[in-house]
Amino acid sequence: MKNILCFGDSNTWGYTPISGVRYSLNERWPRVLSSIIGSQFHIIEEGLNGRTIANNVEGRLARSGAELLPILLESHRPLDVVIVSLGTNDLLNDFKLSSKDIAQNMKALCISISNNEFITQQESKTKILLISPPHLATLPEEDQLLFKGGFEKSQQLAGHYQKIAKELGINFLDAQEFIQTTDIDGIHWTVEQHKKLAESISERIKAMFSSSE
């Protein structure tokens, strides 16, 4: 059985737009992926509301993915695939990050996966699938200042992420090609969008292992 770690933010956790209630097991994309990809794959959910690539949030513990991921790589080893789906929260205006800054943080995160001692010890190489999040949609008035300039930056992330993937020799998927963020809150996804993304990821994962066999 191949182990796949899904490392992401509130959309990986399963945050329902506006209400914040967690989608059921059968609705959020990692569990949908588990149901369709086949019994030879074990899907591990690691989503967290507010998670960023490398920045902590005042008043919220352990939001930096870069700080927490090494612990999870050890906890869930051995891992055949690490899916990284982050970047939306990094668009917050408080961080003052450009899309290129966000991408550089992502590059460092992906390198840290490849160089992690519990990854390098493995006999088979751990694959990385980098997912660029879909663009921000229409934000409620109260969130527009929080994400000032975020829409434009969200449109630029895929290009930067794809370049990183090519440089590092890792796999890449642009979620915007398959789903669009809902206008309900401009940040999160509907159940249908979770399903579509899971289907796209399933096909990509199968292709990754098919090409390596």
DSSP string, 96-127: ---HHHHHHHHHHHHHHHHH-HHHHTSSSPPE
pLDDT band at residue 184 using 50, 70 and 90 as cut-offs: very high
What pLDDT was estimated at residue 61? 84
Confidence check: pLDDT of 212 > 70: no
Segment 144-151 mean pLDDT:
96
pLDDT band at residue 185 using 50, 70 and 90 as cut-offs: very high
Give domain limits for the chain: 2-212
The tens digit of pLDDT for each residue in 32-85 reads 999 999 999 999 999 999 999 999 988 888 899 999 999 999 999 999 999 999
Q: Which whole-number Å values give the CA distances from 187 to 16, 31, 148, 159, in the listed order?
A: 10, 20, 13, 20
* pTM summary value: 0.96
- Separation between Cα atoms, residue 83 and residue 67, nearest integer Å: 17
Fold classification of 2-212 is: Rossmann fold (3.40.50)
Place of tokens 């989608």: 23
pLDDT band at residue 22 using 50, 70 and 90 as cut-offs: very high
